[in-house]
Each structure stands twice: as structure tokens, then as C-alpha cells.
Amino acid sequence: MKCTLLIASVATAITVAKAIPFLGGVNTAGYDFSVYTDGSFEGPGTDPPSWQYQHFADEGVNIFRIPFAWQLMTPTVGSSIDEGFFQRYDATVQSALSASTSPYVILDLHNYARFNNAIVGQGGPANEDLASLWSQIAQRYADNEKIIFGIMNEPHDLNSVPDWVDTVQVVVNAIREAGATSQYILIPGSSWSSAAALPTEAGPLLVDVEDPASEDKSLLIFDVHKYLDSDNSGTHDDCVTNNIDTFQALVDFLKQNGNRQALLSESGGGNTDSCKQLFKEQLAFIKENSDTLVGFTAWSAGAFDSTYILTLTPNDDGTDQPLWTEAVVPNLPDA
């Protein structure tokens, strides 16, 4: 089997993972403008303002998530990285890495398990095509332990969850074979990376994904999302739940399956009283359970302007959005 051979070929590069610190931070969107939920894309993307990284680091942020479109990184399936785009993207990554808290940076492929409306490994690009993309990226960041590979944003409406888990395994193997053996990898489930669905949908299968670089799988972290509005879509500015019941169920599942860990890489709300309270409560629960829920990146700052319903982008005068100040800052790592 190809997966088995890949695992064997890098089995000597086992890493003893050190405990991950509690991580609190923010998405900086822009290179994902405009990726649609069917994996199609148009436009050049927008560079997130580089000054934001030090701005947020000054407040205690120690992780950033930087989304990008597959079509920008490799314009055709299976092709080499576009060097012009990579220079733009890497300049942003370096701005984040150089912030004063020495933060982790998630490289987030924001394509919904698709390329131009075709699901990876399920009638669309082959698993090896996605693996090729990540292999090329991993080679370029193999020496930086602060990089986290976010292999896919929000897989949804999959034809087969088991087939998606096979895709994840192929990508993990490719990243390790490329020499990136010390970095964390975020592995996503189904149903838009749903924190609520993980314990019963993809989670029971994803726990069996092997890591050639960590026998205890401690470098593989589950990638989950959860919003707080009425339909969990992140499209309304009012919040109706703190999601503590969802995250408690997730904690229980992870502890029962080898004391595994998850990171909430997307969650947020509007600058409203309901979200200030409920989002604060949600993040407090995550921080209280940091042995299992290792952190969060709130959605979203970066190239969003102040009219975006879930904006966390600082104002032109340098002041922060109320939701950031009242809900996020109190739950950052050193708060």
C-alpha cells in the first residue's frame, strides 16, 4: 500500500513532541478572497496588512491563521507553486512569525476539500495532487517549528467520509516525507469542520490517522470550527449560545480516544452585547480545558474592513473592535 510505504520511508524521523502551549489569536484573511464554498476562485487575493501582526502580538496573541486559495498557490491541479504568489504569501507569513510573541502561524488551505467544484479524492483532484501541494509547501518551511499546516478548511458535503480520511492520511505522509517532521498538522473532519459533528462523524476514523513523525500522534491536532449564531453559519451578528455543551462533548471524545487534542481555528461573532458575553464564555471554557483544547484563532481580521459583520480588524485609529477587547483579550494566553 502506498500509505504504508510512505510511513515506513520516514519512520526513522520520529519526533518527541513537546507540550504545545495554550494558543490564542486571530485569523488574518485576504488571500482567500474570493474562494467560494464549491472550491472555485476568482481574483488576485488581498494581502493582509502586515502591521496587524505586531499590533495583535502587543496584546498577547501567540498564533495567527493565514488562509490562502489553492488556485493562487498552484494555479492548476498538480502544478508547481506559483513563485510570484508564494513571495507575497511568504512575506506575510514572515511578518507574522517575526512578531514579538514568536507566534505560531497556521498555513490554511481555504478550499472546502475542493478545487473548482470537484472534491479531492472523490471525483476531483487526486489525493496525490493535494499531497503535492502540501509537499512543496512543507519543503519550504521544514526548518521552522512555528509553522502549523492547516491542510484544508471546512470540508463539507463529502461523498464519503472514509475516503476523506484516506485523503488526510496521504497528505500527512507527504508533509512528513518532505522533511517537515517537527511541525503540528491540523486534521479536519466533515460538515464544515464542525466541532459538534466530529465525535460522531469523521472523528472516530480520524483518530486512526497515523503520523510518521510522532508515534503518539501528538503532532496531529484536530481542526474544528464553531460559530455562535442561530444556525452556526457565522453570518449573523447576534449570538445565541456559548457552545459549552458542544465543547464538553468534544473534550470527552478526545480524552476517550487517546487524550487527543483539538484547536478551534474559526469562531466569532458580531460586535453585539450577546456575542461579547457568549463568545467570552466560550473562549473561557476553551482556556480552562487547554490540556485538550489547545487554543483558538478568532474570525477575523486581516483585509476585512469595518463593515464586515464579524470584523475583528482594528479601526483606522488603531483601536480594537469591542468584541476583541471584551471577549478575546481576556482569554489570551497571558491574560
- Eight-class DSSP state of 219: T
Q: What is the pLDDT of residue 53?
A: 99
Torsion sign (Cα): 52, 54, 59, 64 = positive
154 catalytically annotated: yes
Compute φ and ψ for 114, nearest 5 degrees. Answer: -140, 160
266 catalytically annotated: yes
Q: From the candidates 59, 177, 210, 266, which is the catalytic residue?
A: 266
Closest residue by Cα to residue 78 from 141, 128, 140, 137: 128
- Residues of the chain where predicted confidence (pLDDT) is lower than 70: 1-18
Q: From the candidates 59, 154, 177, 210, which is the catalytic residue?
A: 154
Q: What CA–CA distance (Å, rounded) separates 173 from 135?
A: 9
Domains present along the chain, CATH in parentheses: 2-7+23-331 (3.20.20.80)
Q: What is the pLDDT of residue 174?
A: 99
Compute φ and ψ for 146, nearest 5 degrees. Answer: -85, -5
Compute φ and ψ for 71, nearest 5 degrees. Answer: -65, -20
Q: What is the pLDDT of residue 254?
A: 99
Alpha helices in the chain (DSSP H): 2-9, 51-57, 70-73, 83-97, 127-141, 161-177, 203-206, 244-256, 273-288, 322-323
Q: What CA–CA distance (Å, rounded) separates 224 from 254?
A: 12
How many C-beta atoms surround the C-beta of residue 305 within 10 A? 8
Q: What is the pLDDT of residue 146?
A: 99
| Total residues found in the chain within this entry | 335
